Amino acid sequence: MKFISQILLLLLNTSNLSASEKTTIRLGILPFGTVNWEITALKKLGLLDTTEYHLNIQPVANPQAGKIALLANSVDVIVSDWIWVSRQRSSGFDISFYPYSNTAGSLLINRQSKITSLKNLKGKRLGIAGGELDKNWLLLVALAKKQNFDLDQTVEKVFAAPPLLSQQLKNNNLDAILTYWHFAARLEAQGFPQLLDGKKILQELGIQTSVPPLGYVFKLNWAKRNKKAINAFFNATVQAKNAICKDEATWQQIIPLTKTDSTKTLHLFRNKYCQGIVKEWGEKQLKAAEQIYLLLKDISKNRLTGTSTTLVPGTFWFPEQQLSEE
């Protein structure tokens, strides 16, 4: 009996040790958006707390707050864009980017408009989400430049938050808007035509490979100290995405987060989200990103990219660099 008690005590101590070694991943996310879809799916799958990690969700007020929190070590992982990662790396921050989604924004036109091409935007009122350094806006300007006209000087630009732009388009106060994909999906469901999306803009610029605009961003020194946890977490996010797209019970739990009861809107939400799942991540994406970087650097006159002449090495974290569990 004494021997059995000692064995049980040893097993208990080993269990406590394993629990204490589990990594807590502090994930900084906005209180809205599709990352919350994945958190809901992870919860349903029992993947918020695993043998490798415990996910600690920390809401951030806005994208900038998330970036500040990461650089200040208040969170371990955020969702952000790779241009920002490259710029921070050029400033000495050893952060990297792993893809989250391929879904990009869209250019939608007023239902009453006769706009059928980019050149038809001349003299029109164009609403733009994200400000004057929004990547889709800058790429649209680059496409117009390729078509031999200056879009920046020939449209009346209206910069505003996406919900306001959507309302202004519905009220016929704007001829077109360039907005984020989920706001675009709501408008498409209401009959507003899409002229271009981010993928099409790149294709017309001669870049055939899509580069995920958003990804998980983290400090490499933290990741190297927590190899098993970060690998397990990224694997779990793949499972979550697949569940959202393939499992109806999981999707039913996502629906309340969309804040819509429109069947058409829900269909577009799910389709666009699932189309955005990253299925390829490697050398082709790196080369495409380097092309995009140079375009954005030129059009923004370094204001978006910073002064680095090229995409800073290490910006992207590829599968062949996956952190070893040894």
CATH (domain of 94): 3.40.190.10
CA–CA gap between residue 17 and residue 11 (Å, rounded): 10
102: nearest Cα among 284, 259, 298 = 284
Question: Among 204, 238, 270, where does a domain finish?
Answer: 204
DSSP designation for 83: H
**Exposed / middle / buried, residue 90 (Cβ in 10 Å: 0-12, 13-18, 19+):** middle
pLDDT value, residue 18? 45
161: its two tokens = 């938050």
Residue 70 Cα distances to 219, 233, 306, angstroms: 8, 17, 19
Angle between helices 248-258 and 263-275 (to 10 degrees): 110
Asked if 220 and 94 sit in the same domain, the reply is yes
Question: Among 204, 235, 259, where does a domain finish?
Answer: 204
Name the domain count of the chain.
2
pLDDT one digit per residue (tens) for the chain, 326 residues: 444 444 334 444 444 434 457 899 999 999 988 999 999 999 999 999 999 999 999 999 999 999 999 999 999 999 999 999 999 999 999 999 999 999 999 999 999 899 999 999 999 999 999 899 999 999 999 999 999 999 999 999 999 999 999 999 999 999 999 999 999 999 999 999 999 999 999 999 999 999 999 999 999 999 989 989 999 999 999 999 999 999 999 999 999 999 999 999 999 999 999 999 999 999 999 999 999 999 999 999 999 999 999 999 999 998 666 555 54
Asked if 66 and 185 sit in the same domain, the reply is no
CA–CA gap between residue 308 and residue 290 (Å, rounded): 12
φ, ψ of residue 231 in degrees (nearest 5): -65, -45
CA–CA gap between residue 132 and residue 242 (Å, rounded): 35
pLDDT value, residue 324? 55
pLDDT value, residue 320? 61
Asked if 45 and 135 sit in the same domain, the reply is no
φ, ψ of residue 51 in degrees (nearest 5): -70, -20
Asked if 303 and 316 sit in the same domain, the reply is yes
- Residue 79 within a domain: yes
Residue 150's domain spans which residues? 106-204
- Residue 326 within a domain: no
| DSSP H or E segment with residue 97 | strand 95-101
Asked if 98 and 216 sit in the same domain, the reply is yes
- Residue 179 within a domain: yes
Asked if 91 and 149 sit in the same domain, the reply is no
